[in-house]
Chains A and B, each alone.
Chain A
Amino acid sequence: MTDRFNLPARLLHWTMATMILAMLLIGAAMVTSLADYHALVALHRPLGALILLLAVLRLANRWRHPPPPLPADLPAWQRIAAHGSHVALYGLMLALPLVGWGMLSAARYPIVLAGPVVLPPILPQSPMLAASLRHVHTGLAYALVAVFLAHLGAALMHALIRQDGVFASMAPWRSRR
């Protein structure tokens, strides 16, 4: 069973993949929309908080249950790219919600999740910091789009072309092999 990610890892992966894809699309649409801005922001905040929470759970699970090893015949550059992109993915999954939370704190907005549920601020009020973090948030989001696309491309490469069991180790269904 060591050739597959464990069930919590696979569940978290596919749930978060859907959420992160939705989040990136919501984020992109939100900043250019007038009519739907409020509805999208109201969705963006709680979804971001949930992604942060799940990312922490996921790292804990990964630490207790290390992922299966990459195929031995994988070229070195692909091995480095795989490790690097996973560090970037985890880093961005944690950093984007934290920067968002921080920028709302510095701008002195109440951080409303749903109904009367409000998160406490994590930074003191500072307009300059709020503006900087707002730009950092956008920059990191573009980076996450890029890493997301690279991850998607690499996953399809393993699934459709290399057929080396890497995709199967995370696939929601059991492989025929």
Chain B
Amino acid sequence: MTLLNDLTGAPPGMTGRSLLLRLSTLGAVVAGTAGGFAYAGGWLSPGLLTPARIVDRFEAVNGPHPGFRRNHAKGLCVAGRFAANGAGARLSKAALFAPGQVTPVLGRVALAGGQPYAADAETTVRSLALLFRQSDGEEWRTGMNNIPVFPVRTPEAFAAQLLAAKPDPATGKPDPARMAAFFADHPESARAAALIKARIVTGGFADSTFWSLNAFRFVAANGSVRPVRWAFVPERMATAETPARAGQADRNALFDTFAAQVRQNPQRWHLVVTLGRVEDPTADATQPWPPDREGVDVGTLSLTEVTPEAPHTCRDINFDPLVLPDGIAPSDDPLLSARSAAYAQSFTRRAGEAKAPSAVTGAPNPGAAL
């Protein structure tokens, strides 16, 4: 064993047996550490649902649209401010709720789905994403939909629903049998779908209520913590007549109507925070909270500007719902972390791709405006 002693630099007195044992120990420690990395990185669990696989599924269902968000692909940038009335200060220590505080806001209105050039349709889920910029450098980002509950409870159910709802190439609609099978497996989603279908679909973005969907926690200056959900409730009276239904040829009717409304007058929403009780579900976004829960109006959002997506606008912002200021904290809802992870994955992919102009220009004649 003197050759091995020479090769390894072991002292001449070390026996071959001892040397081999020591080499094996060394190998085992290094291999074990490498195995730990492989395990942590998911290489040993090939079937694992990862953020990348969720975004892959969006791409598979919607086809490639480089540069666009993988979901809520069609949108328009907005800007304005949030004026706190002070009622939220006892609920959350976030600076934006202090009495008289006015916080600049930028955001995005969009339609759910991964098709950036789809024609507006009244029943497509509408979203409002907002970024509140506090003067201390903290931000609050939130992405909300005009549906009172979320269709699924877990990330796994979300991925299954994406696949089940994939339009059949022959009919252009989801296969009813697959949707039925999905609902049979996920009864909570069947109940949520009924609530979503029963909602009143208003005329446009400006008279839509946008719900937080997930539960969060408000942390007050005195340390008290409350489960909350919130909604942005429009000041504008709801109308049932939609431009799309009125038979206009404009494929961007919802966006163009909203852009015209904002240009005419600031569009306002009240931020109403619903205070949950201990027995209210915080980890199940498919379930509504009882209607008698206290709602606190904490201030007014005024949207005063609309801008088509372009560099350095809302296009380049990830409205990650877990970018929260001190005073707002996540709940135990598993969708929140999953949304954060999938949004980050979608953001990194589109950030690195060449961008095409948005179909939405905010003007009624997109062709002329371009």
Contact = CB atoms under 8 A, between A and B. Distances in A.
B247 interface: no
A29 B9 CA distance: 38
B312 A161 contact: no
B361 interface: no
A109 B137 CA distance: 10
A25 B36 contact: yes
Given A31-B51, A116-B136, A118-B136, A160 B317 contact: no
Nearest to A78: B9
B334 A164 contact: no
Nearest to A103: B348
Interface in B21-68: 22-23, 25-26, 29-30, 33-34, 36-37, 40-42, 48-52, 54
A9 to B, nearest CB: 23
B351 A34 contact: no
A108 B141 CA distance: 12
Contacts of A99: none
B340 A130 contact: no
Contacts of B155: 34-35
User: Chain B interface: which size bin?
Assistant: 35 or more
Contacts of A135: 352
A107 interface: yes
Interface stretch (B142-150, B271-279, B319-327): B319-327
B138 A116 contact: yes
Contact of A125 (B26, B316, B322, B337): B316
B227 interface: no
B348 A130 contact: yes
A128 interface: yes
Nearest to A26: B40
A110 interface: yes
Contacts of A109: 318, 320, 323
Given A28-B40, A115-B326, A35 B348 contact: no
B338 interface: yes
Nearest to B54: A34
Nearest to A115: B326
A59 interface: no
Contact of A156 (B25, B312, B326): B25
Contact of A38 (B25, B49, B340): B340
B305 interface: no
Interface string A27-66: 0110111111111010000000000000000000000000
Contacts of A21: 33
A149 B26 contact: no
Interface string A104-118: 000111101001101
B41 A29 contact: yes
Contacts of B26: 153, 156-157, 160-161
B27 to A, nearest CB: 8
A157 to B, nearest CB: 6
A34 B316 contact: no
Contacts of B123: none
Given A109-B318, A112-B138, A125-B312, A36 B348 contact: no
Interface string B318-358: 10101101100010001011101110100111111000000
Interface of A: 21, 24-26, 28-29, 31-39, 41, 73-75, 107-110, 112, 115-116, 118, 120, 125, 127-128, 130-132, 134-135, 145, 148-149, 152-153, 156-157, 160-164
Given A37-B340, A156-B26, 9 more contacts: A33-B337, A35-B334, A37-B344, A108-B317, A109-B323, A110-B138, A110-B323, A130-B348, A161-B19
11 contacts: A25-B36, A31-B51, A32-B41, A37-B338, A37-B340, A128-B352, A134-B351, A145-B37, A156-B26, A160-B22, A160-B25
